[in-house]
Amino acid sequence: MMTAERPPTEFESRVYDALQLVPRGKVTTYGLMARYLSCGSPRAIGQALRRNPFAPETPCHRVVNANLTIGGFFGTVKGTPIERKRNLLLNEGVIFRKDGSIDPACCYRFDE
């Protein structure tokens, strides 16, 4: 998944470490992760995840939009990568509603 050949920055490493806290069967949001890391920018989280060189061991697929829709994956928001992200989440036990959003019971908030 890495898009640049460089080692992760200190910030990216913090994002990847935080991802390890999100258990199988759960998701978190870009905003919740930004708040947890005190960075204030959900977009910065997304950019770090886009550069994740440790996927799938570092599970960037477990981060979704604030409205619990699937969000992006591999730098895109549609097509095969999004289906792959959905399948990864389904295989881990994440529950999707009929409208395609994720059941709020599957949201990890870092303070649990």
Which contiguous run of DSSP H or E holds residue 32? helix 30-36
Q: What is the pTM of this model?
A: 0.90
Q: Give the structural domain span for 37.
A: 10-106
* Domain count within the chain: 1
39 carries an active-site annotation: no
Residue 35 buriedness (CB in 10 A; 0-12 / 13-18 / 19+): middle
In a domain, 4, yes or no: no
- Report which of 26, 46, 22, 32 is spatially closest to residue 89, judged by C-alpha positions: 26
- Report which of 56, 54, 105 is spatially closest to residue 85, judged by C-alpha positions: 56
pLDDT tens series, the chain, 112 aa? 444 578 999 999 999 999 999 999 999 999 999 999 999 899 999 999 999 999 888 999 999 999 999 998 888 889 999 999 999 999 999 999 999 999 999 999 998 6
Q: For the domain that residue 24 is a member of, what is the CATH number?
A: 1.10.10.10
Residue in the structure block whose two tokens are 């390890």: 20
The residue from 39, 60, 106, 107 that is catalytic is 60
